[in-house]
Structure 1
Amino acid sequence: MNSKLSKVGVVGAGRVGAAVANALVMMGVCVSVVLYNRTKDKAEGEAWDIEDAIPLLEECDILPTDKYEDFADCDVIVITIGAQASEGQSRLELLSDNADIMRSTIKELDRVAPDAILIIISNPVDVLTRIAIKTSTRPENLIIGSGTVLDTARVRYQLGKLINISKQDANIYVIGEHGDTSVIVWSNALIGAIPLEKFSLPQGTSLDKIKSEYVENTRKRAYAIGERKGGTSHGISTVAAQLVDTVLRDEKQIFTVSVKADSEYKIGEEVVLGLPCIIGKKGIERKLHIPLSEEEQSGLEHSAEKLNEAYESVM
């Protein structure tokens, strides 16, 4: 795929969908964006607003539409459609509202763009990705949930800030549910090539203190943002645009996306949750196994159990 010749679709022109379309244009990810909304006026308003910035950026066309047929020649389609969490509402509490929307959306996309790679950022993303995999006729590797990519970015940012290094050198992953049962994999965390447990931390800071604070901060970050501005949009839209860019450029980057777990994780191979994978032009090109401590394994099993219960509740 050539990103300069690529067309990307966005399903939903709400707060998150509009932010995704804007991020795609701002980051110069593709040459054309199709922005779909059931109400075309909404799609037009958001598209025209973004269009006004294009003379200051790389050239990009934006097509507002209320017809799924306009996705027919898209290489990648980002799904943002569905109800957003209200203040204090967990992602899993959105499931009953969004499960049927996901099924109908996937059927439409299978009809008009059966070969496109789908990137799902609707919540609860892990369960909705599992529903998409179950519903779709396309191969599983072409369906990617955003998983814990944003959670991982949050931890890396805060950790890098605390110990005063580049955030890109804070090599630590968050896995499991994108939500209240997420698991930070401290046991394999590296600062550059140095294990975190052997890294010299700032005076007055201990690893135990970091662990206790970061677990809660990571899980509550979205709630804190929601309380202040009504919901998240910028972080997750950048995640979506980065995943699209990685696919189009065939970069083979590692992201903790929503996938079915391999047998090594011992949590059941039908459960879908955030785990490290290599992403490229074929979508999910390889699933990776990250060694876990006993505590982390227990946390992942708990996360899988909660997600499986949620999935079964809407089947």
Structure 2
Amino acid sequence: MVDYRKCAMIGCGFVGASSVFALMQSGLFSEMVLIDSNRDRAEGEAMDLSHGLPFGRPMEIYAGDYSDVAGCGLVIITAGANQKPGETRLDLVNKNVAIFKQIIPEVVKHNTECILLIITNPVDILTYVALKLSGFPPQRVIGSGTVLDTARLKYLIGRRLGVDSRSVHAFIIGEHGDSELAVWSSANISGIELNRFCEQNGNFEFRKAANELYTDVRDSAYTIIKKKGATYYGIAMSVRRIATCILRDEHSILPVSSLIQGHYGLEGLCMGVPAIVGSKGVEKVLDINLSGEEQLELMHSADELKKVLASLDLPK
């Protein structure tokens, strides 16, 4: 029996530590164990975070090893090599697949009932790798997918149109990377179709700016990495959002990465598409309406991922 108030974070780099900080403030967990190949780093992060507990909610944060994942309801993996300036997410694949071949068997040795939440890039490839190496049911292996990309799109649309980004409803889907696509055909502002909203508010130039916004979203990570070396706050908030959906059994719809089985005419890969997320993980992958052009772009994105998957040595 697992305890969904106990969580493990594997990897205590910028993303892992920032995610633990966000989760600590959420009040979702009563116990969090930090695991890293550098034990001193895990211990230092646990100490630093614990010193802030008097300002938050009672919980236990400590450094541990893989035996401590026993009983965890949620195991989050951020461990892996960092994306360097000029390097694509898919360039990371061989280094991080090798790391996952060490991590996943250790997790499974101590816990076969948890939900795995994969954050490490390239996240769609590594979600599929984790699924194959763990042998877990597909609904319990989730990647962060295009949750952050979608948030970036909502933020940029909201800023451009002068509305609260929480009133923007639009998705980035496909690979979390260079082949991702914006689903403009169903984008809306609180139920008002995007083009109509723009016309009603005299913003006739928005459609011309749409491709610019998409490019800004797609290239955000490259820009941030160039300027400050790494991205971590945005993804940390994404981790918190996904964890909240699971722990509170929200049945919220998020474009997480999970196994595609016939959806959009695709199968045999993981990528970010809207799905209902709750206490059992991915409850249902949703087929949203796409324009003909968007369907072709999604097929291209899937092909890019499948090329990489075909080169990997994974269990059948």
TM-score band w.r.t. shorter chain: over 0.9
Cα displacement (A) at 1:204: 5.7
Whole-Å Cα distance in 1 between the matches of residues 148 and 38 of structure 2? 29
Q: 1:2 Cα shift?
A: 11
Which residue, 282, 306, 309 being the options, matches 1:308?
Answer: 306
SS in structure 2 opposite 1:199?
helix
TM-superposed deviation, 1:273: 0.7
Per the alignment, in what secondary structure is the counterpart of residue 141 of structure 1?
helix
Checking the alignment, whether the CA contact within 8 Å between 2:12 and 2:41 is kept in structure 1 is yes
Q: Structure 2: which amino acid aligns with 1:110?
A: V
Corresponding letter in the other structure for 1:7: K
Q: By how many angstroms is 1:106 displaced?
A: 1.2
* Displacement after TM superposition at 1:125 (Å): 0.2
Q: Residue 64 of structure 1 aligns with which residue?
A: 63
For residues 277 and 99 of structure 1, do their structure 2 counterparts lie closer, same or farther at Cα, with a shift above 3 Å needed? Answer: same
Letter paired with 1:164: G
The 5 A counterparts of 1:1-80 are: 6-65=5-64, 67-80=65-78
* Displacement of 1:157: 0.8
Change in Cα spacing, 1:63 to 1:147, as seen in structure 2 (3 Å) is: same
Give, as a single letter, the amino acid of the residue that structure 2 aligns with 1:75. Answer: G
Indicate if the aligned counterparts of 2:198 and 2:206 stay in contact, CA closer than 8 A. no
Cα distance in 2 for partners of 1:289, 1:17 equals: 31
Alignment-mate amino acid for residue 200 of structure 1: C
Shift of 1:29: 2.0
RMSD (Å) for aligned C-alpha atoms: 1.6
Residue 314 of structure 1 and its aligned partner are, at CA, apart by 2.2
**AA in 2 matched with 1:99:** V
Alignment partner, residue 218 of structure 1: 217
CA distance in 1, matches of 2:91, 2:204: 36
Paired residue for 2:103? 105
Letter in 2 for 1:8: C
Residue 103 of structure 1 deviates from its aligned partner by: 2.3
CA contact (8 A) 1:29 1:241 kept: no
- Report the equivalent of 2:128: 130
Equivalent in 153, 156, 172 of residue 155 of structure 1: 153
Q: Which of the numbers 84, 87, 93 marks the counterpart of 2:85? A: 87
1-structure distance, mates of 2:257, 2:77: 14
SS at match of 1:6: strand
Aligned length: 312
State how 1:112-261 maps to structure 2 within 5 Å: 112-200=110-198, 203=202, 205-261=204-260
- 1:194-249 superposed Cα distances (whole Å, 9 cap, x missing partner): 11121135556523223211121011100110011101001111111211121011
Distance in structure 2 (CA, Å) of the matches to 1:218 and 1:303:
16
Task: Give the Å deviation of 1:99.
Answer: 0.6
How far did residue 261 of structure 1 move? 2.1
Report the CA distance shift for 1:52/1:139 in structure 2 as closer, same or farther (over 3 A).
Answer: same
Q: Distance in 2 between matches of 1:261 and 1:248?
A: 23
Tell me the secondary structure at the aligned position of residue 284 of structure 1: strand
CA distance, structure 2, for counterparts of residue 113 and residue 210 of structure 1: 48
Q: Are 2:262 and 1:292 aligned?
A: no
Other-structure match for 1:283 = 281
Q: In the aligned structure 2, how far is the partner of 1:79 from the partner of 1:2?
A: 18
Q: Secondary structure at the match of 1:270?
A: strand
SS at match of 1:218: helix
8 Å contact 1:2–1:249 — kept in the other structure?
no
- Output the CA distance in 2 between the equivalents of 1:164 and 1:103: 46
Q: Normalising by structure 2, what TM-score?
A: 0.95
Contact 2:2 2:72 in 1 (8 A): no
Q: Aligned partners of 2:30 and 2:140: how far apart in 1? A: 21
For the residues of structure 2 that align with 1:90 and 1:282, how far apart are their CA atoms? 32
Question: What pairs with 1:254-273 in structure 2 (closer than 5 Å)?
Answer: 254-267=253-266, 269-273=267-271
Segments of 4+ moved more than 4 angstroms: 201-205
Give deviations 1:83-114, integer Å, cap 9, x for gaps.
01011110000001001211221111111111
Q: Secondary structure at the match of 1:75?
A: strand
Please give the alpha-carbon distance, in whole angstroms, between the structure 1 residues aligned to 2:172 and 2:302: 14
CA distance in 2, matches of 1:106, 1:37: 14
CA-to-aligned-CA distance 1:39-72 (integer Å, 9 cap, x gap): 211101111111111111111210112x100110
Q: Percent identity of the aligned residues?
A: 38
SS at match of 1:261: strand
Could you tell me how far apart the structure 2 residues matched to 1:222 and 1:203 are? 32
Q: Is the 2:2–2:73 Cα contact (8 Å) retained in structure 1?
A: no
